[in-house]
């Protein structure tokens, strides 16, 4: 059996043993014992960056996360299997879609004026004596800044829209149609999923939209989505688009 698989199986068995409280006649197993570790520990910093990379690689929707701060760390020694680190990480949403090949360290963090999204990832990662690391589990929860917070500082900044709102759908249709008129390679593309939308009313009315696209071999609907999805076209994303519509006529896709 592969050495990495053996190590992971050992981790799972050890985690199971040490996280159970078994009660019998006159005895009880103690729960897991965790040791706090400084957040500025070099190994912790390396594993935290690696954990964010693993999380971004595992996710299929949304945008890549960037590490903002290591909030809390605990260690559970696992003997010959290595050490299990429980990392409490503060993260920020970037402007890179999860399908982007760009590493998260090179992605721009979503700026405040575009409604910043931030949150926390509770991560469990195994670090072996051989220097290998395995992501065991993660749970992330992020929320956008409130409109009140944004408008207090920037009254004219665009506010987020529901991704399925008519305004977002129209903006995606218009910007993709504009792109198709300029390209000979995109005639069969349709909107797959709107990932972010926003709108402003001053100083000029405008809509901003971000979305993924896919090939539509059976043609397009009036909404700009695929007419009949095949198994292949429904799962493969052909690209990612960012566009804006100013007023009713002026279209400026990015």
Chain segment 65-79, per-residue pLDDT in tens: 999 999 999 999 988
Backbone Cα Rg of the chain: 23
Contact 113, 157 (CB under 8 A): yes
Torsion of CA 1, 43, 99, 169, to 10 degrees: 130
Position 18 pLDDT exceeds 50: no
109-123 confidence digits (pLDDT tens): 999 999 999 999 999
Q: pTM surpassing 0.85?
A: no
Domains along the chain?
3-8+25-147 (3.10.450.10), 158-251 (3.10.450.10)
157 C-beta neighbours (distance < 10 Å), count: 17
Per-residue model confidence (pLDDT) at position 223? 75
Q: How far apart are CA 245 and CA 209, in angstroms?
A: 9
**Closest by Cα among 48, 156, 163, 149 to 105:** 48
Q: What average pLDDT does range 75-95 have in this prediction?
A: 95
Lowest average pLDDT, out of 54-68, 205-219, 233-247, goes to 233-247
Per-residue model confidence (pLDDT) at position 82? 92
Written as six digits, the tokens of 118 are: 């931030």
Position 249 pLDDT exceeds 70: no
Per-residue model confidence (pLDDT) at position 248? 61
């Amino acid at each position: 059996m592969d050495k990495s698989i053996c190590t992971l199986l050992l981790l799972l068995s050890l985690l199971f043993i040490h996280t159970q409280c078994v009660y019998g006649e006159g005895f009880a197993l103690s729960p897991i014992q965790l040791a706090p570790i400084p957040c500025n520990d070099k190994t912790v910093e390396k594993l935290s960056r690696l954990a964010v990379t693993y999380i971004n690689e595992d996710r299929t929707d949304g945008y890549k996360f960037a590490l903002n701060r290591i909030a809390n760390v605990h260690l559970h020694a696992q003997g010959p299997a290595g050490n299990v680190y429980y990392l409490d990480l503060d993260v920020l949403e970037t402007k890179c879609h999860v399908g982007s090949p760009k590493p998260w360290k090179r992605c721009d963090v979503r700026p405040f004026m575009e409604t910043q999204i931030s949150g926390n990832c509770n991560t469990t990662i195994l670090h072996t004596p051989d220097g290998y690391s395995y992501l065991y589990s993660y749970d992330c929860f992020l929320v956008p800044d409130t409109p009140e917070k944004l408008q207090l500082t920037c009254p004219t900044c665009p506010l987020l829209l529901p991704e399925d709102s008519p305004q977002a759908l129209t903006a995606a249709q218009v910007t993709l149609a504009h792109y198709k008129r300029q390209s000979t390679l995109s005639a069969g593309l349709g909107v797959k999923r709107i990932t972010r939308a926003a709108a402003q009313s001053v100083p000029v009315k405008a809509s901003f939209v971000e979305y993924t696209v896919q090939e539509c071999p059976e043609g397009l609907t009036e909404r700009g989505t695929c007419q009949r999805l095949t198994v292949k076209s429904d799962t493969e994303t052909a690209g990612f688009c960012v566009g804006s519509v100013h007023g009713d006529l002026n279209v400026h896709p990015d």
